[in-house]
Amino acid sequence: MIPIESYKLLFNPFKQIKVKEILDFVEIPKLYVEIDVVGTLYLNYLDQFLEDHLEQRFVIPISTQRLTDLKRGKISVREAFHQPETHWIFLTHVNELEGTITSVYLLPEDVFQHLNSVENDYLVSVEEEEIRHNSLTSLMAPLLATLPNNLPDYSATEFRPVMQLARVLYLYQHADLSKETTETLANLTLPEFLNAVVNQ
């Protein structure tokens, strides 16, 4: 355990900060972007719960360009925190019930890296952004994702044209798949194909 008390700030520099954009919110707010009164952006990651309703979070300033790279998957969240744009990293304690920041620490990068718990392969999902740019795919994606659970066996024939279209769209959207994978997917039966797509 790294002692961090000596890095505790006597004031709260984030008094007027606001959550600007959610990047990962599944049951709990894991990753989001905040903005302060002068427009500086911060990337905020949930490290752990220290006790009931007390979050420990990592916070780094992030440039617009780097944030764009993160959202496009060009860099991982781990990279963003492993090679931050400043050499000081904030660590905050946040009361989940009230949303209030109870403590703020400012850690040198080398100290922070011993605490850095961001998963190695953690990429921000850009799917929603991709979908916004492709309205046709946006109509098909929910259908494609839910068909295996919801398609009665007897309707396979009835839905064949729709599923064929879904298959073509999927392969089109994932044009970066290897030739072998594309061929394998194209040769599967429709139920096998749908299962393979959902499990990818």
Question: How many Å apart are CA 22 and CA 71, to the nearest integer?
Answer: 11
- Give the list of residues 6+ apart from residue 68 with CB closer than 8 angstroms, or none: none
By the 8 A CB rule, do 182 and 171 touch? yes
User: Interface residues for other proteins in 139-158 (CB under 8 A)?
Assistant: 139, 141-142, 144-146, 149-150
Cβ–Cβ under 8 Å, residues 185 and 171 = yes
Which listed residue (38, 97, 178, 180) binds other proteins by CB under 8 A? Answer: 97
CB of 21 to other proteins, least distance (A): 8
When the beta carbons of 110 and 133 are compared against other proteins, the nearer one is 133
Q: How far is the CB of 4 from other proteins (least distance, A)?
A: 17
For 161, residues 6+ apart whose C-beta sits below 8 A from its C-beta are none
Q: Which of 25, 102, 136, 156 binds other proteins (CB under 8 A)?
A: 25
Site string for other proteins, 2-21 (x = CB under 8 A): ----------------xx--
Does residue number 172 form part of the binding site for other proteins (CB under 8 A)? Answer: no
- Cβ contact 17:36 at 8 Å: yes
Task: Please identify, using beta-carbon distances, which residue of 145 and 188 lies nearer to other proteins.
Answer: 145
Q: Which long-range contacts (CB under 8 A, 24 or more apart) does 79-86 make?
A: 80/43, 80/118, 81/43, 81/45, 81/116, 81/118, 82/113, 82/116, 82/118, 84/60, 84/109, 85/60, 85/61, 86/60, 86/61
Q: How far is the CB of 29 from other proteins (least distance, A)?
A: 7
**Rounded least distance, CB 107 to other proteins, Å:** 19
**Footprint of other proteins on this chain (CB under 8 A)?**
18-19, 22, 25-29, 46-50, 96-99, 125, 127-128, 131-132, 138-139, 141-142, 144-146, 149-150, 197-198
